[in-house]
Amino acid sequence: MKDFMSPIENKRATFDYTILETFEAGLELLGTEVQAIKHGRMNLSSTYVLLRNGIPLLFNADVQPYQPKNAPKDYNPTRTRRLLLTAKEIKYLTGKIEEKGLTLVPLKVYTKHQRIKVLIGLAKSRKEHDKREAIKKREDWKQIRKDVF
């Protein structure tokens, strides 16, 4: 088996949100899910993170089984998964979310020292005009790079 995996990114998150801070969290998984994620069978498009009773949870992350015929009968691909953060980080995030109305968004899933990690971002939602402005800036940068090079 390969020792690395290509990162699984949530491209929509950087468009819909302004990322203020990022945190690296571990992910509590079943054995069959680890193999599936390492082979890229995870979808982060509609995922979100909530803190319930001081426990960070990843909702709606779709992990399709690596071998569908060998998957357990009661396997739920979109089950809620627990994120592993330090108590200090959880306390900090709880304060930020309650104080300023920010949200937590999963940005990327990757491996680090053969462990699967999730990069979550403390984010603020963008308004429609902010999204249009971001698109315009990106197009301007493309044009400048095209003219210079």
Looking at residue 55, its pLDDT comes to 93
For the chain, what are the domain ranges? 8-148
pLDDT means per 10 residues in the chain (149 residues)?
75 87 94 88 91 93 86 88 95 89 91 92 82 83 85
Give the phi and the psi of residue 121 in degrees, each rounded to 5.
Answer: -115, 140
Looking at residue 149, its pLDDT comes to 74
CATH superfamily to which 8-148 belongs: Small protein B (2.40.280.10)
- Angle CA(72)–CA(9)–CA(121) in degrees, nearest 5? 105
Looking at residue 4, its pLDDT comes to 66
Looking at residue 2, its pLDDT comes to 54
**Which DSSP helix (H) or strand (E) runs through 44?**
none
Contact of 23 with 92, CB cutoff 8 Å: no
Q: Is 10 helix (H, G, I), strand (E, B) or coil?
A: coil
Report the C-alpha gap between 111 and 66 in whole angstroms.
Answer: 17
